[in-house]
Amino acid sequence: MQSLDQFALDKLAQLEHASLRRVLVESTRDGLYIQRDGRKLLSFSCNDYLNLSHHPAVEAAAVAAITTYGAGAGASRLVTGNHPLLTTLEEKLARLKGTQAACVFGSGYLANFGIIPALVGKGDLILIDSLSHACIHAGARLSGATCLTFEHNKTGDAETLLKMHRSVHRFALLISEGVFSMDGDCAPLKPLAALCNAHDCWFMIDDAHGLGVLGEGRGSAAEADCADIPLLMGTLSKAAGSYGGYLCASQPVIDLMKTRARTLIYSTGLPPASAAAASAALDIIAEEPALTRLPLAKAKSFTQRLGLPLAQSAIVPIIIGTPEDALAASQRLADEGFLVTAIRPPTVPDGTARLRVAFTAAHPDSEIERLADLVSTHIKRANLCPDSS
């Protein structure tokens, strides 16, 4: 076993030298604030965009579910783990997204790992936006299909690839994120949908960061007024404040998922508390459109104060460059009472290490202004942050 330990130590040393080693930091969260290393920090790094993870109705639903159904599902959904709360949750998801049906998975990562290989395989074609989440790329490779990437948000590049390769493949699937998790920009959904229709290519979006934030809470497709997307995937761990993943689609597609998606068949069902919490959160999202508009409004206020391009979502990247400088910038903000985590390669491309600023409905406007002023004064002026415009 000495060679194994030495391998691990060598890899860790290399990562440490490049400022790319990750370390888990114990934290506790109470709404907007994080307790970390003995300090209370206002977090701008959480994806709880509507602050629903601590909403009384969401918490109460989770507690009631545990009392009724226990802490765990006990088995996969196809065995005994398909408790009634999952049926209710899927009905609410389909209604919110305007589809015939929905299927809930254990997480967003598991969803993409299950959905993609259940739809395409050897002899098929997958086109993926180059900045799509790692689980999309991994799920695509797992499928055995031919996988090609197109330039980020470049419909023309995707069109070129389809014209070159579509005719020699049985089926084709194009995948993009609705809101890109590290850049905060939105995909050109209408042009991509038109392109897919023209080439008999199925269109799927991962809307993890659109649900609850865009389109009156219904997500990126609703925001873009694009009803022509047959596969709407997302997560319940962000604006919904809980945990799990989902696919909203036609009834035949959902029926196929429930009999062929391996990450549903061979995974324990979502815990009752998580399903109940997400269900209660979806009620709030559907009933309070004004709440869903707040994260984007606050992100726009931040970008306006900094003179950056207007935010398209609740996510604003401050591109810095090197991992070392991104870590230093994050520490500078922590010294001022803010948690804004540094994002480093391989999560983002080399040379684009950044601060990823995530806004929620409850962030105080005064603190947003203070954060913007600190970024402007201490980070840009220190030449750590190039002009993002």
CB atoms within 10 A of CB 66: 14
133 noted as active-site residue: yes
Question: How deeply is 203 buried, as exposed, middle or buried, from its count of CB atoms within 10 A (0-12, 13-18, 19+)?
Answer: buried
What's the topology of domain 54-287?
Aspartate Aminotransferase; domain 2 (3.40.640)
Q: Pick the catalytic residue from 48, 129, 206, 207.
A: 206
209 is catalytic: yes
Sheet containing 172-177, strands listed edge to edge, beginning at the edge strand earlier in sequence: 101-105, 245-249, 231-235, 202-206, 172-177, 125-129, 146-150
Extents of the domains making up the chain: 21-52+289-380, 54-287
- Residues counted in the chain: 389
Report the pLDDT value the prediction gives residue 80, as an integer from 0 to 100: 95
Task: Report DSSP state, residue 378.
Answer: I
Q: Is 206 a catalytic site residue?
A: yes
Catalytic residue among 47, 153, 220, 237: 47
Q: Which of 53, 112, 143, 181 is catalytic?
A: 181
Low-confidence ranges of the chain (pLDDT < 50): 381-389
238 among known catalytic residues: yes
Q: What is the pLDDT of residue 31?
A: 81
Superfamily name and number for 21-52+289-380: Aspartate Aminotransferase, domain 1 (3.90.1150.10)
The pLDDT of residue 150 is: 98
Q: What is the pTM of this model?
A: 0.92
Which listed residue (48, 90, 177, 183) is catalytic? 177
